[in-house]
Homo-oligomer: A and B are copies of this chain.
Amino acid sequence: MITRSLCLVLGLTATSLSADPLPSWNDTEAKARIIDFVTDVTDPDSEMFVVQADRIAVFDNDGTLWAEQPVYFQLIYGIDVVARKGAEDPAFLTSDALRAAAAGDMKALMATGQEGLIEVLDASHAGMSVDAFQANVLEWLDTARHPKTGMRYDEMLYQPMLELLRYLRDEGFETYIVSGGGVHFMRAFAENAYNIPPEQVIGSTMNSSYQIVEGVPTVVKDAGFSFIDDKEGKPIAIDSKIGKRPIFAGGNSDGDFQMLEWTTAGDGPRLGLIVHHTDAAREFAYDRDSHIGKLVRGLDEGPERGWLIVDIAKDWEAVWPSE
């Protein structure tokens, strides 16, 4: 049987084929598997047909939809805020972690461990309304530039993944982000970047409170974590917020393992996808030894579980959106 993907690989065209839905993907097996999956679950005559209401696709964000090196961009945001506040008022820097952040000393910051990271996040995220926080994030995105690429952080999106999102939605999928990143941080740019609206962004949350601030009813961001949307937390968050098991899950690190494991354990057609960062020249190459986006179990167990391991160097014709 001549599959649609086989035709694309052979460069054949036929009047019954749609235009290539994934133009920035090379014609490798990865692209073929994705297109075959989507074709099957959307074909009413296929045994693998899935009704539209059940076509849920979930994606990690850091390292899956946008970049995450040298560290998570939200952490860079936090460090930049602490540095700015510390420059305005040195008394603001009340701990080793805050001083390390203000000095741009990543080694010293990492040495303060999880407690120090939480201090940086509290200092940069807490004590303001959600609206004010998101305005600050947008301002930062306008001026901040990545130390290696010189790009805006919200330009360091993966063009092939943007095409995948669009293709899925065009075929009746709802696309969600399920990320360890902060939900308020991501919502500042996710709709513009990915066409994923706020109600489809699931992430970690810090504490919030409802306060009347100068007579105005306001949701305020407080210190401390309410929920960390990572590892086992991802299936829990998906169950809690969506209430349906997805049929497609994409991630890039072992923080996504349980999300892919749970997704692909469901009955019927399921697809788990891992983005493997193999391209030092065009992006960043990292996996087993990286502190950020560590990927071990996914590489060791993914293939035997039937997950699709995407190799950026081989499978992506382009990385960033074109100018």
Contacts and interface: CB of A to CB of B under 8 A. Distances in A.
B53 A219 contact: no
Contact of A243 (B53, B201, B216): B201
Contact of A208 (B174, B183, B239, B243): B239
A199 B242 contact: yes
Contact of A197 (B53, B210, B217, B262): B53
Contact of A244 (B53, B183, B198, B243): B198
A87 interface: no
A46 interface: no
A243 B262 CA distance: 26
B208 A130 contact: no
A265 interface: yes
Nearest to A234: B210
A59 to B, nearest CB: 16
A187 B239 CA distance: 11
Contacts of A130: 239
A28 interface: no
Given A197-B53, A244-B198, A235 B219 contact: yes
A198 B262 contact: no
Contacts of A208: 236, 239-240
14 contacts: A187-B243, A197-B243, A198-B243, A198-B244, A199-B243, A205-B240, A208-B236, A209-B236, A210-B232, A210-B262, A216-B265, A217-B261, A217-B262, A219-B235
